[in-house]
Structure 1
Amino acid sequence: MTMTEPATQVVFAGIDTHKVTHHAAVIDADGRRIADREFTTGSAGCRALIDWLGQWQVERVGVEQTGTYGAGLTRLLDQGGYQVFDVNTPDPAVRATVG
């Protein structure tokens, strides 16, 4: 886990969803990493992730929608008042050509 003091500035979060864990990162407006942490995917882990995000003034949350892994988390974030954006995983072939 990497963590600095909670920010008083507006920050953004990104969440990489998986079957067993979700990995969340918080960045500032310049793209500098403030903190990152991994959580389990069950309801307790999702609630812990949302509580963890509460340390910062998170403006928007991007959630990678890999299958249905992020669906429940996205609903909880939305219910918690976060502005949530679906982030699609790029096609690996396209990603390899454009970096």
Structure 2
Amino acid sequence: MILIGVDPHKSSHTAVAVDAAGHQVAQRRFAVNAGTFRQLMRWCGQWPERRFAVEGAGGLGRSLAQQLAASGENVVDVPSTLSARARLLATGGDRKTDAKDALHVAQVALFRHDLRPVVQEDQTTILRLLTERRDDLVHERTRVLNRLHAVLRDLLPGGAPTGLSAGKAAALMKGIRPVTATDNCRRDIARDLLAGLRRLDRDSAAQFAAGSGVLAR
């Protein structure tokens, strides 16, 4: 069984193959382009019995790790903290290189049996992404709404009521008649905030519809 460690970067991926004892048997650097995965698989074809270890399979290595998983390859994720620790423990104090990093990734995967297997992304992943996006929109809407409340407090006697919505804010703002240049500025800011609030409401509704569509499939 050959274990292939991959040190991924934006412009290149470096792969190092090690045997069962952790000794390097081959290495190859691949420029990142449309043919990277095909070139990697052609190079790895010499080892029918193989496993892959990708550093940061949830980060820079996500795309490659997902391609490998989708092709039925056995892949594990090596956290950068573990590969960095292996690098520090390596003897000789040699200069850091991508090839050495890939070697350490492979060696970590060879001797650690608690690494997370990489599985192909599916509808569960899509739902998680949509949920995270909708949470971001909700937090941003709350921030904008609080800011709009604060501005309207200085424009309206008694300020805006609780339970403010875009529609209620628009109705309140129709009655605002600024007297000073400062109040004119406040009204302009309130209009911008109202426009942002409406956009966030639309985006949140779209995210909810997208999530419902995924569940219905």
- Counterpart for residue 79 of structure 2: 88
Letter matched to residue 64 of structure 2: L
Q: Aligned residues, how many?
A: 88
Q: How does 1:1-99 map to 2 (within 5 A)?
A: 10-65=1-56, 68-90=59-81, 95=85, 99=89
Letter matched to residue 62 of structure 1: A
Letter matched to residue 81 of structure 1: G
Change (3 A) 1:67 1:60: closer
Following TM superposition, by how much is the alpha carbon of 1:67 offset from its aligned partner in structure 2, in angstroms? 6.5
- Normalised by the length of structure 1, the TM-score is 0.75
Check conservation: 2:11, 2:32, Cα contact below 8 A.
yes
Change (3 A) 1:80 1:64: same
- Counterpart for residue 178 of structure 2: none
Following TM superposition, by how much is the alpha carbon of 1:54 offset from its aligned partner in structure 2, in angstroms? 1.5
- Normalised by the length of structure 2, the TM-score is 0.37
- Aligned-residue sequence identity (percent) comes to 36
2-structure distance, mates of 1:58, 1:73? 19
Check conservation: 2:5, 2:53, Cα contact below 8 A.
yes
Greater per-residue strand proportion: 1
Deviant stretches of 4+, over 4 Å: none
Aligned residues: CA RMSD: 2.5
2-structure distance, mates of 1:87, 1:40? 21
2-structure distance, mates of 1:74, 1:52? 16
What per-residue deviation string (whole Å, max 9, x for no partner) do you get for residues 18-76 of structure 1? 11000001111011111000001223112211221111124311001177321111111
Structure 2's unaligned 5+ residue stretches are 90-217
Greater per-residue helix proportion: 2
Letter matched to residue 23 of structure 1: T
Structure 1's unaligned 5+ residue stretches are 1-9
